[in-house]
């Protein structure tokens, strides 16, 4: 493979990675946001403290993902964002509400606090539903028709459920006492719609897309790919089993979160396999959509230096706030 062909692939990989990291990291933030109304006032503070130092940087992965789409695949960028105009606007309004509510709620006068809590919840919910809907539209290459609308609507509900499961698992890891026990119950409740949603989507995707059907249901690929759904199922069942065990409140508090993250990674693998080599399903391959080689090479230098650095100081930040969440103070 020549350098001209390899560069777009590298950037497709980077874009996929950024989006996956975004979904995994902001996923727990958004999940915690959606759980907020179900907690007591003191619990709300701890829940928000658990995501306080991170949400900002987590959201930056979305900027990187859409940035790479913009930089490396400008033709796809225009096509995708024009097709998703309204849900993108809905997501952005949701993310704005969530982000500002986080900061306003601790600084505004006390009787405004419930209002900002509501904005935090509504923003998280709106952003998650919009992201799910966009994913659903994207997988089918923005195909029009009632079956595609139902498909997108199903993902619009399934993705928020997955975020709630991830958020609850995050809280199991980062909190203790009553809130932690509560989070285990939340995780159990979210587990059912996640499993149903994933099963339905796995069946529906090949059903609505000829391309996906042809990629999965042929021999020997079918056998080679079997580990992906199997491992997903094992991770989900294992997570559910753990939630019943009291050890999840102690030493194994990190395990449900790790397992749900594993489910997200496996899902991303499956999705990436289904889509490749398209950037927009059935319409635009990565090579058709790519920028000039010169420009990609220039960014690659920056990526090669910056991404390891970003990974390094992200790990540093998570280590600084390692362990159970405590109340946050500006200081």
Partner 1 sequence: MDPLILARAQFAANISFHILFPTITIALGWLLFFFRWRWLKTRDEGWLASYRFWTKVFALSFALGVVSGITMSFQFGTNWPGFMERVGNIAGPLLGYEVLTAFFLEATFLGVMLFGHNRVSERMHMIATFLVAFGTTVSAFWILSLNSWMQTPTGYEIVNGEFHVRSWIEVLFNPSFPYRLAHMLLASGLTGSFLVAGVSAWQLLRGTPHKGTQRALRTGITVAAILIPVQIFVGDQHGLNTLEHQPQKIAAMEGVWQTERGAPLLLFAWPDAAAKENRYVVGIPKGASLILRHDAQAEVRGLNEFEGQHPPVAPLFFAFRLMVGVGMLMLAVSWTTVWMLRRRAWVAQQLPRAMLGVLSAMSFSGWLATLAGWYVTEIGRQPFIVYGLIRTAEVASKTPASHIALTLAAYLALYAVLIVAFISVVRYLAEHTEDSEALPAGSGQAIAQTAAAAGQGARS
- Within 280-299, the residues that bind partner 1 by CB under 8 A are 291-292, 294-295, 298-299
Alpha-carbon distance 43 to 250, whole Å? 19
Q: Is 329 exposed, middle or buried (0-12, 13-18, 19+ CB in 10 A)?
A: exposed
Contacts of residue 84, Cβ cutoff 8 Å, sequence gap at least 6 = 134, 137, 138, 142
Give the tokens for residue 308.
């390891």
Give me the least distance between CB of 324 and partner 1, in Å please: 9
Give me the least distance between CB of 307 and partner 1, in Å please: 7
Among 9, 10, 37, 67, binds partner 1 (CB under 8 A): 67
Task: State yes or no: cis peptide before 153, omega within 30 of 0.
Answer: no
Cβ distance to partner 1 smaller for residue 127 or 198 = 127
3 state DSSP class of 280: strand
Other C-beta atoms lying within 10 Å of the C-beta of residue 278:
18
Interaction of residue 108 with partner 1, rule CB under 8 A:
yes
Interaction of residue 102 with partner 1, rule CB under 8 A:
yes
Among 37, 38, 74, 268, binds partner 1 (CB under 8 A): 74
Start-to-end C-alpha separation, the chain: 53
Among 5, 6, 63, 245, binds partner 1 (CB under 8 A): 63
Give the tokens for residue 272.
């990436």
Alpha-carbon distance 178 to 39, whole Å? 10
Query: Which of these, 311, 277, 300, 315, lies nearest to 68 by C-alpha position?
Result: 300
Residues 176-205 that bind partner 1 (CB under 8 A): 176-179
- Size of interface with partner 1, in residues (CB under 8 A): 74
Give me the least distance between CB of 322 and partner 1, in Å please: 9
Q: Cβ(142)–Cβ(83) under 8 Å?
A: yes
Interaction of residue 261 with partner 1, rule CB under 8 A:
no
Residues 23-52 that bind partner 1 (CB under 8 A): 40, 42-43, 45-46, 52
Among 17, 93, 225, 238, binds partner 1 (CB under 8 A): 93
Q: Which stretch binds partner 1 (CB under 8 A): 66-74, 156-164, 209-217, 267-275?
A: 66-74
Give the tokens for residue 298.
């220039």
Per-residue binding letters, 128-167, with partner 1 (x by CB under 8 A): ----------------------------------------
Alpha-carbon distance 136 to 156, whole Å? 7
Q: Which stretch binds partner 1 (CB under 8 A): 102-110, 203-211, 223-231, 253-261?
A: 102-110
Cβ distance to partner 1 smaller for residue 161 or 184 = 184
Interaction of residue 96 with partner 1, rule CB under 8 A:
yes
Q: Cβ(136)–Cβ(156) under 8 Å?
A: yes
């Amino acid at each position: 493979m020549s350098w001209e062909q390899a560069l777009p692939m590298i950037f497709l990989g980077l874009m996929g990675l950024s989006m996956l990291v975004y979904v995994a990291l902001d996923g727990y933030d958004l999940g915690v946001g959606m759980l907020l109304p179900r907690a007591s006032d003191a619990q709300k503070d701890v829940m928000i403290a658990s995501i306080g130092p991170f949400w900002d940087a987590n959201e930056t992965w979305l900027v990187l993902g859409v940035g790479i789409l913009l930089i490396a695949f400008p033709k796809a960028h225009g096509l995708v964002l024009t097709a998703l105009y309204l849900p993108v606007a809905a997501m952005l309004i949701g993310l704005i509400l969530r982000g500002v509510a986080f900061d306003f709620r601790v600084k505004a006068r006390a009787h405004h606090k419930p209002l900002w809590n509501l904005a935090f919840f509504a923003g998280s919910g709106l952003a998650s539903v919009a992201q799910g809907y966009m994913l659903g539209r994207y997988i089918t290459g923005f195909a029009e028709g009632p079956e595609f609308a139902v498909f997108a609507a199903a993902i619009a509900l399934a993705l928020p459920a997955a975020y709630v499961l991830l958020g609850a698992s995050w809280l199991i890891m980062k909190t203790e006492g009553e809130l932690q026990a509560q989070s285990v119950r939340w995780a159990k409740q979210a587990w059912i719609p996640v499993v149903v949603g994933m099963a339905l989507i796995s069946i529906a995707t090949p059903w609505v897309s000829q391309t996906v059907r042809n990629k999965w249901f042929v021999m020997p690929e079918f056998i080679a790919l079997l580990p992906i759904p199997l491992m997903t199922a094992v991770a989900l069942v294992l997570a559910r089993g753990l939630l019943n065990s009291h050890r999840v409140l102690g030493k194994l508090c990190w395990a449900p979160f790790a397992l749900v993250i594993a489910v997200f990674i496996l899902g991303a693998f499956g999705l990436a396999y289904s889509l490749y080599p398209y950037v927009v399903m059935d319409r635009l391959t990565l090579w058709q959509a790519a920028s000039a080689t010169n420009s990609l090479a220039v960014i690659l230098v920056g990526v090669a230096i910056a991404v390891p650095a970003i990974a390094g100081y992200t790990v540093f930040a998570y280590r600084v706030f390692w362990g159970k969440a405590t109340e946050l103070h500006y200081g």
